[in-house]
Structure 1
Amino acid sequence: MEKTEFSSIRRKLGKTQKQLAALLGMSLKTIHSYEQGWRSIPAHIERQLYFLLIKQRGRNKPLIPCWEQKMCPDKEACPAWEFQSGDLCWFLCGTLCECTSDSSYRDKINICRDCSIFQRLIE
């Protein structure tokens, strides 16, 4: 995640830097460092921001689970299906789509950002 996207998500959440620092359990100086580009944004912080953004926006339409949208042939072996979290496939490591099962979260989220399921959630 780049500093501009971090700042943009903070604004979309309607939070000041101080409020976001409290929400994420970190110092205001750390938030400043992310937004100025002095520090890289860790994967777990990126993950939390996307989670908050998606949960804040809610859903107007019922969600079709990822395994149905992608017609997953081996859904029973996927954590998204196991935990009935077809909207959190981007959040869960070990999912089977797009060859992400052995990927780190950082690599996985780079693939998921281009996925239509993820895109619909953050729109």
Structure 2
Amino acid sequence: MENNDFQHIRKRLGKTQKEMAVLLGTSLKAVSSYEQGWRGIPTHVERQMLFLLSQKMRQQQPRKNCWETKRCPERKKKNCPAWEFDAGHLCWFINGTFCESTTKTNWQEKISVCRQCQVMKGLS
């Protein structure tokens, strides 16, 4: 996540930097540093930001489950953690999903695939 993505999401959530710091459990200075590009955005902060945005958007417009959107075969679907935990709108958040028929080894690898997916389009 880039600093301008962070700021864009914060504004879509309708939060001030101070309110965002409270939600993220970090300092106001950290939030300001993320937005200015002085500090890299940690993985846990990026995930939390995307989760909050996803939940906010879900309140406004319900989203289809990933297995419906991607038309996953029954066998693949039943082995996927997103289906197991009934979190088809949060498939990008859950490690171990079978997108592109393989699991990813780390967050950066996973999120780069997810950002291209129609399920996650519009979140960032």
Do both share a fold (TM > 0.5)?
Answer: yes
Distance of 1:29 and 1:12 partners within structure 2: 20
Q: Which moved more, 1:97-106 or 1:27-36?
A: 97-106
Q: Which residue of 1 aligns with 2:86?
A: 84
In the TM superposition, 1:64-79 aligns within 5 A as: 64-73=64-73, 74-79=76-81
After TM superposition, the structure 1 stretch with the greater mean CA deviation from structure 2, 72-81 or 94-103, is 94-103
Question: Within the alignment, does 1:23 sit opposite 2:23 as a pair?
Answer: yes
Q: Alignment partner of 1:44: what SS?
A: helix
What is the aligned partner in structure 2 of residue 118 from structure 1?
Answer: 120
Equivalent position amino acid for 2:120 in 1: F
CA distance in 2, matches of 1:60, 1:34: 29
Aligned match of 2:98 = 96
1:60 partnered with 2:74: no
Distance 2:32 2:61 in 1: 34
TM-score normalized by the length of structure 2: 0.88
TM-score by length of 1: 0.89
Partners of 2:61 and 2:20 in 1: CA distance = 26
Look up the match of 1:13.
Answer: 13
Runs of 4+, deviation exceeding 4 Å: none
Shift in Å at residue 60 of structure 1? 2.8
Figure out how many residues of one structure are paired with residues of the other and give that number. Answer: 121
Offset of 1:116 from its aligned partner? 0.5
Please say if residues 3 and 34 of structure 1, whose CA atoms lie closer than 8 Å, have aligned partners that are also in contact.
yes
Does the CA contact (< 8 Å) of 1:100 and 1:108 recur in 2?
no
Which structure's relative contact order is higher, taking Cα pairs within 8 Å and 6+ residues apart? 2
